[in-house]
Amino acid sequence: MRQPALWKPSEVLRGWANKVIKKYPAYLEMCEPDRIGYMTVTDTHARWFGVTYKVREPFKTALDDEMDYIIVINMNKIYDLFAKESRLNAIRIVLLHELRHILGAGKLRRHTVEDFLSMLEKLGINYLDSVQPPNILAKKYVSMFEKK
Ligand SMILES: [Zn+2]
């Protein structure tokens, strides 16, 4: 029998995500760091890199912290596709994408063609390239995304 997927809260991801939020205050203006939870999933065959969930009632009441969103990163995909030195850059890119889904007040932004195109345009067509995903904390990228 296949192992069940393993979901775990991750404070390490929170730390990385908070750095991304800090660097992109305009692009991620709807993100309130304290209202977002982070989890990793392993032992999964899911194809996605990341997913953002709204936390709805009655689950809100079961959590210690008041959270509106939970972002999950699929560590299987990261480990399968990226060399050790590229993993953190890849995770930051996925986090940037997932955080962009957050619209505040418990709402989620849907994927729009514009959002997707702007990511390709700014980071390059192979931005989630396993060889060299860019470091989005670099000034060059921050200034591109933050421009309105
Ligand atoms: Zn998405």
| Tens-digit pLDDT profile for residues 46-80 | 999 999 999 998 888 888 778 999 999 999 999 99
For residues 14-43, average pLDDT: 96
Rounded to the nearest angstrom, the distance between the alpha carbon of 1 and the centre of ligand 1 is: 30
Q: What is the CATH number of the domain that holds 46?
A: 3.30.2010
pTM: 0.91
Query: Taking the CB of residue 96, how many other CB atoms lie within 10 A of it?
Result: 23
51 Cα to the center of ligand 1, angstroms: 6
Going from the Cα of 113 to the center of ligand 1, the distance in angstroms, rounded, reads: 11
Alpha-carbon distance 89 to 5, whole Å? 24
115: in domain: yes
- Per the structure, the complete domain to which residue 137 belongs is given by 6-141
Q: Is the pLDDT of residue 92 over 90?
A: yes
Asked whether residue 42 is domain-assigned, the answer is yes
Quote the ligand 1 centre to 73 CA distance (angstroms).
11
Q: Left if phi > 0, otherwise alpha if psi is -120 to 50, otherwise beta: which for 7? A: beta
Structure confidence at residue 125 as a pLDDT band (50, 70, 90): confident
In a domain, 18, yes or no: yes
Look at residue 117 and tell me if it is in a domain: yes
Q: Is residue 1 assigned to a domain?
A: no
Q: Identify whether the C-beta of residue 53 lies closer than 8 Å to the C-beta of residue 72.
A: yes
In sequence order, what E strands does the chain have?
A: 6-9, 36-42, 50-54, 69-74, 102-104, 107-108
3-state secondary structure of 18: helix
Tell me the CB-side half-sphere exposure of residue 61, using CA atoms within 13 A.
Answer: 2
Mean residue pLDDT across the chain: 90
Strand arrangement, sheet containing 50-54: 6-9, 36-42, 69-74, 50-54
Tokens (6 digits) for 31:
């993100």
**CA 27 – ligand 1 centroid, Å:** 15
Q: Which residue has the higher pLDDT, 112 or 67?
A: 67
Beta bridge partner(s), residue 54: 69
Q: What is the mean pLDDT of residues 35-45?
A: 94
78: closest CA among 115, 52, 44? 44
In the block, tokens 């991801």 appear at 13
Q: Is residue 146 part of a domain?
A: no
| Cα of 115 from ligand 1 centre, angstroms | 10
Tell me, in angstroms, the distance from the centre of ligand 1 to residue 69's CA: 14
Tally of domains in the chain: 1
Tell me whether residue 147 is in a domain: no
Q: Would you state the pLDDT for residue 145?
A: 84
Domain assignment present for 123: yes
**107 Cα: distance to centroid of ligand 1 (angstroms):** 14
